[in-house]
Amino acid sequence: AVLIAMLAALTMLPALLVVLGRRVDGGRLPWRRGRAVSTTTGEERWGRLAHAVMRRPVLVMVATVLVLLAIASPFLGAKWGSVDYRVLPQDAPAHQAFDTLNSQFGPEQSTASLLLSGVSADDVATYRDAVLDVEGVEGVQSVATQGDVTLLRASWLGNSQSEESQAIVESLREVRPGTGDVLVGGLTADTVDLIDSVAAHLPWMGLIVVAIMMVLLFLAFGSVVLPIKAIVMNLFSIGAAFGVITWIFSDGHLSGLLGFESQGFLDATNPILMLAILFGLSMDYEVFLLSRVREQWDRTGDNTIAVATGVQKTGRIITSAALLLGVVIGAFGTSGIVFMKMLGIGMLVALLIDATIVRALLVPATMKLLGRWNWWAPAPMARWWERYGFREGPEAGRPAVGAVDAVGHEGGAADPSQSTAPASVG
C-alpha cells in the first residue's frame, strides 16, 4: 500500500495537477472566495517559535525531556498478557457469560495442561504430588492415559492472564518427572510463550530498524549525527504514548469515561504493532523537517537560520498531516473492543506529541545545541556522500563543517575535502 501511494504521488498526482491547472482551486469554501490564499502569518508564527526556543535551548530541552519522561514513566511498570473476554464490549454475550459465571460460581479458575510422555505410573504419582506442592496450585486431575502418555490438568484460582498465573506456569515448568518428558500448555502457558517470544525477537527487530534508518537518513542528509538524533526523538514520542496507554488501559484510569473494563495488563502484541507504525510515521515528519533544514543549511551555512526556516516551512504541514491522520486513527478509540481502542488512543497521542512538542520544541533546541555537529560525518563518508548521496537542489556551494573552528561561529563555505573533524558533509 505504501509503495502504491508513493508511485501515485510521483506519477498520477503531477499529471492530474497539470490537467487541472488553475481549476485545482475550484470548489473553494464560500467564505474563502475572492480572498488570496496566504500562509505567511502561520509560517511566521512557527518561525518565531523556533527562534524563541533556540534563544534558551538548554532550558527548553531539559523541560521538554522531563515532561516526556514523566508521561512515559508508567510504562516502566507495565504488565503483559494476552486478550481474554474483557477485550469485548461489556454488552457482548461472551463477556456477560463470563461475568455471570464468576458471580454465580465463585472466583475465576485457570488451568494448565500437563502432558507426560515416557513416565512410569509411579513417577506420574510422584510428579502429581510435586505439582500440588507448587504455590498457588489448588488441585491436579488425571484426564486421560494412552500407553505411556498421560494428561494431567492443574488448576488454581485467578485470571489466566494475571502475573500470578504466569508465575504458576513458570513454576510448573520447573517441576520435572523422574523419567520421561513433560510439556505444559494451556491459555496461561500460551501467554507466557508469547511474551517470551516477543522479548526474544524485539531487540533484533529494533536493531534492524535502527540500522536501516541510519543508512537511509545518512544517504538523505549526509550526517551520522542527525540519524541518531532522529531515532532518539522518535523514541521520546513513542515512549510517551506507551506511558499513556499503560496509565489508561493497564492501570485502569479513565476506564469509565472511555467505556471499557481494564484487564490490568497490556496485550503483548499491541505495543509492537504501535512501535512499527509510529516509528515510520514519526520518521516521516522528521524527514519533512530535516529536508528543509538541510536545504537552508546548504544555502546559508547558518545552523540557526536553517533550523528556524525548516520549522517555519514545515510546521503547518506536519501539524496538519498529524491532525488528519489522528482523526482517522483516533476513530479506533471509539471501538468497543479494548485492544482496538488502545491502538487508536495510543497512536493519536503519539502523533500529537510528535508533531507538536517534539518537532516544535525538542528538535529545534537539540539542533541549536549541536550546532555544526548536526552535519558531521567522518571524512571518508562525507566525501562518499558528496559523490553518491541523495540531495535536493544544486550540488555546489555547500558549507563545510569544522569542529575546530577557532571562534566557533556558524557559516562559511569551504571545500569539504579540506575540512578536518568534523568533516564536511555538505
Set out the domains of the chain in order of their start, with CATH numbers.
Answer: 43-82+193-388 (1.20.1640.10), 106-186 (3.30.70.100)
Cell triple for residue 231?
531515532
pLDDT (0 to 100) of residue 417: 35
Q: 417: how many CB neighbours lie within 10 A of its CB? A: 12
Q: What is the pLDDT of residues 110-148, one digit of tens each?
A: 999 999 999 988 999 999 999 999 999 999 999 999 988
Cα 357 to Cα 241: distance, rounded to the nearest angstrom: 13
Would you place residue 207 in the very low, low, confident or very high pLDDT band (cuts 50, 70, 90)? very high
Q: 114: how many CB neighbours lie within 10 A of its CB? A: 28
Nearest to 368 by CA among 287, 294, 307: 307
The pLDDT of 22-32, averaged and rounded, is 69
User: Which strand ranges, in their side-by-side order, compose the sheet holding 109-117?
Assistant: 139-146, 149-157, 109-117, 181-185
Cα 335 to Cα 281: distance, rounded to the nearest angstrom: 22
Q: What is the pLDDT of residues 383-422, one digit of tens each?
A: 999 888 876 655 544 554 443 343 334 444 434 333 333 4
Quick one: what percent of the chain has pLDDT higher than 70? 88
pLDDT (0 to 100) of residue 407: 34
Using the predicted structure, report yes or no on whether residue 66 has a pLDDT greater than 90: yes
Whole-structure pTM value: 0.81
Q: What is the pLDDT of residues 270-305, one digit of tens each?
A: 888 888 888 888 888 889 899 999 999 989 999 999
Based on the number of CB atoms within 10 Å of its own CB, is 381 exposed (0-12), middle (13-18) or buried (19 or more)? middle
Cα 285 to Cα 331: distance, rounded to the nearest angstrom: 21
Contact partners, residue 410, CB within 8 Å, separation at least 6: 301, 302, 303, 304, 371, 372
Cα 9 to Cα 14: distance, rounded to the nearest angstrom: 7
Cis before 364? omega within 30: no
Q: What is the pLDDT of residues 155-176, one digit of tens each?
A: 999 989 899 999 999 999 999 9
Angle at 131 between CA 125 and CA 137, to 5 degrees: 135
Give bridge partners of residue 145 from the DSSP assignment: 150
Would you place residue 247 in the very low, low, confident or very high pLDDT band (cuts 50, 70, 90)? very high
Q: Distance of alpha carbon 51 from its chain centroid, rounded?
A: 29
- DSSP secondary structure letter of residue 105: S
Cα 220 to Cα 250: distance, rounded to the nearest angstrom: 40
Across 44-58, 133-147, 234-248, 403-417, least confident range: 403-417
Question: For the chain, how many residues are written?
Answer: 426
Contact partners, residue 195, CB within 8 Å, separation at least 6: 80, 81, 166, 268
Would you place residue 186 in the very low, low, confident or very high pLDDT band (cuts 50, 70, 90)? very high
pLDDT (0 to 100) of residue 335: 87
pLDDT (0 to 100) of residue 40: 59
Cis before 271? omega within 30: no
Cα 129 to Cα 143: distance, rounded to the nearest angstrom: 16
How high does pLDDT run on average in the chain? 85
Which DSSP string do the residues of 387-400 spell out, in sequence order? HH----S-SS-PBP
Nearest to 308 by CA among 421, 218, 410, 414: 410
pLDDT (0 to 100) of residue 51: 94
